[in-house]
Amino acid sequence: MEVAKKIYEEVIKLPEETQREVLDFIEFKKNEMEKKYRRNN
């Protein structure tokens, strides 16, 4: 959770549009990793 908190603290300093792009990218990577994990189990 500490890593997520640090990322959040940095992201909120960015302009709103950039925040959205970063959060969309994180969501995309999270979904990608979940799919990969499900395939391997």
Q: What is the percent of the chain with per-residue pLDDT over 70, rounded to a whole number?
A: 100
Task: State yes or no: pLDDT of 26 exceeds 90.
Answer: yes
Do 27 and 19 contact (CB within 8 A), yes or no? no
The answer for residues whose C-beta is within 8 angstroms of residue 23's C-beta and 6 or more apart is 11
How do the domains of the chain map onto residue ranges? 14-40
Instruction: State the pLDDT confidence band at 25, using cuts at 50, 70 and 90.
Output: very high
